[in-house]
Amino acid sequence: MPSSIVWFRQDLRLSDNPGLYEASQNGEIFPIYILDDVNSSSFKMGGASRWWLHNSLKKLNATLNNKLNVYQGDSKEIIIKLLQELDINAVYWNRCYEPWRIRVDSEIKAILKKMGLDCKSFNASLLWEPMNILKNDNTPYKVFTPFFQKGCMKGMIPHQPLPKPQKLNLIKDAKNSIEIDDLKLLDSIPWYVSMKPYWDIGEEGARARLNEFLEKGLRNYKEGRNYPAKEHVSRLSPYLHFGEISPHQVWFAVQDHCVDDPMSLGDAACFFSELGWREFSYYLLYHFPDLPQKNFQNKFNHFPWLTDSEALKAWKTGRTGYPIVDAGMRELWQTGYMHNRVRMIVGSFLVKNLLIHWHHGEEWFWDCLVDADLANNSASWQWIAGSGADAAPYFRIFNPITQGEKFDPEGDYTRKFIPELSHLPNRYLFQPWEAPESILKEAGVELGATYPKPIIDLAFSRKRALEAFKSLPK
C-alpha cells in the first residue's frame, strides 16, 4: 500500500487541510511535525507562541489518535533521513510564506525531485496567494485598497473549504519520533498560567471562537471593533496563524451567517476587509522579504531614533503613567493578546512619543503575542511607524488621553488591567495627574507610588516627533 508523509506546520487541523486531504486519497499517511529552530534562526518563535504551539500540538496529536510523529532540528535533514529509512512514495505539505520557509521548501523540493518522489504543496492559509496578484505592469501592489479591491476581489474568489478526510490510515514512527514534551516549548518558570483561562486552543476551540464571534460580535463589528471593552473583535488571529482554522472556513462561515442575518452584511464587508489586511501583510513579506529588518521607505533610514532603556522598560511593563497605554501592555502580558485599537495606541506611543525604533516594539510583540506572525507583526509595526507600505502618515500621533476617553468611555477595559485606578472617576481616569489630591486619596491612588507619573510630556513629545519627521529627506 503506498504511503506518504504529511508535513504539518502552520496548518494544525484536519478539516480544510489540502495536503492532508490529498494524501488521504492515496494510501497510508506518515504525519510529521518538525520544530525547526535551525533554519528559522532569529525568527524562531517567541515564548507566548511556543506555549500556544505546545498545547495545539497536543490537541492535534489527540485527533490523530496519538500518531503524530514529532522531531526537532533541520527540516531538510530530518525529511531526508525519514525518506532513507521508510518506504515513502510522496511528500505533501501546505505552503508557508516566511522567507526562510520558502528557501527550505525549495531546497527540499529539489532534493525530492532528484529522488524521483512525488512532492506536492498546497495553499491552506491564504485566501489569495501573493505570487498570483500583480498590477497590470507586473509589479506588486504597495497600497492596500487597490490590492484588495482590484487584485483580490476582482480575481479568483475564495474556494469552499474542504471536508475533514473520512478515513486516515496513520503510521507511527516508534524509533525516531519524540514526545511533544521533549520539544521543551514551555519555560521552567510557568509565567504563561495567566493566559490559559483566555483561550481554548486547538481546532475545536477555533470553531467555537468563530461561532461565538458570529453570534455576539459580527453585528455592529464596523463600529464596535474600536472599543476594547466590547466583544466586537473575532480574536481569531492566533487560530489563523497556527492554522487551527483556515481563512476560507472563516470567510464562508461569515457569508452563511449573513444569509440568516442580512443586517450584518455591512459589518461582514468590514470584517472581510480586515482579513484583507492580513493577506496584504503576507503579500508584502513575500514580495519584499526584508520587511522585518529594513524600512520599507528608505528615507526612514535617516530617522533620529533615541536609545532610552528606562522608557522602553516602562513601556514593556505597562508603567508609562498613561493608563490606556499601560492597560494594553498589561493585557498583552496577562493574556498574550492585545485589542487592535490599543495596539495602534501603544505602538504610536513607543515610536512617536518616545522616539524608540519600531524594531524594539516588533521584538517585544514577537515574544509576548500568541498570534505573533512575521508578516503581520512586521507590516503592522512599519505601518504605525510611518515607514511601511500604505503606512499611517507620520504626523498621525495617537493621543493616549483622548483615545482612552473616546474608545473606553466607561473605563471598563482600563480598570480591568489597571485595578489600582479602579476607584478613580472617569473624568480623571486617563489623566490621573490632573485629579485633585483629595480625589486621588479617596481613590487610593498615590502617583509615583501606587501608579507611576507620566514618563514624558505629550505636547513636548509630539512636537519633537514632528520635528524629527521634518528632518527626513523628501
Q: Which of 274, 363, 405, 420 is catalytic?
A: 274
- Residues 31, 17: contact at Cβ < 8 Å? no
Q: Which of 28, 231, 305, 405 is catalytic?
A: 305
Q: Please give the full DSSP string across 82-138, using - where no structure is assigned.
A: HHHHS---EEEEE---SHHHHHHHHHHHHHHHHHT-EEEEE--S-SS-GGG---TTS
Q: Which residues contact 388 (CB under 8 A, 6 or more apart)?
A: 284, 291, 295, 296, 297, 379, 381, 382
Here the cell at position 419 is 485595578
Q: Which residues contact 221 (CB under 8 A, 6 or more apart)?
A: 232, 233, 264, 267, 268, 270, 271
- Residues 59, 20: contact at Cβ < 8 Å? no
**Burial class (CB within 10 angstroms; exposed 0-12, middle 13-18, buried 19+) of 218:** buried
DSSP 10: S
Here the cell at position 369 is 503575542
Length of the chain: 474
In the residue annotation, 93 being an active-site residue is answered as no
Q: Which of 89, 123, 277, 426 is catalytic?
A: 277
Q: Please give the full DSSP string across 150-184, using - where no structure is assigned.
A: IIITTSPPPPPPPPPPS---B---TTT-B-GGGG-
In the residue annotation, 274 being an active-site residue is answered as yes
Per-residue burial over 172-210, b = 16 or more CB atoms within 10 Å of its CB, e = otherwise:
ebeeebeebeebebbeeeeebeebeeebbbbbebbbebb
Q: Which of 7, 358, 364, 383 is catalytic?
A: 358
Closest CA to 128 of 155, 163, 103: 155
- Name the amino acid, one letter, at 397: I
Beta bridge partners of 118: 90
Q: 298-303: which pairs have CB atoms within 8 A and are 24 or more residues apart?
A: 299/472, 299/473, 299/474, 300/385, 300/386, 300/387, 300/472, 302/471, 302/472, 302/473, 303/387, 303/468, 303/469, 303/472
In the residue annotation, 358 being an active-site residue is answered as yes
Q: Which of 340, 405, 420, 426 is catalytic?
A: 340
Q: Which of 51, 199, 366, 381 is catalytic?
A: 381
Q: Please give the full DSSP string across 18-39, using - where no structure is assigned.
A: HHHHHHHTSSEEEEEEEE-TTT
- Tell me the catalytic residues: 274, 277, 305, 340, 358, 381
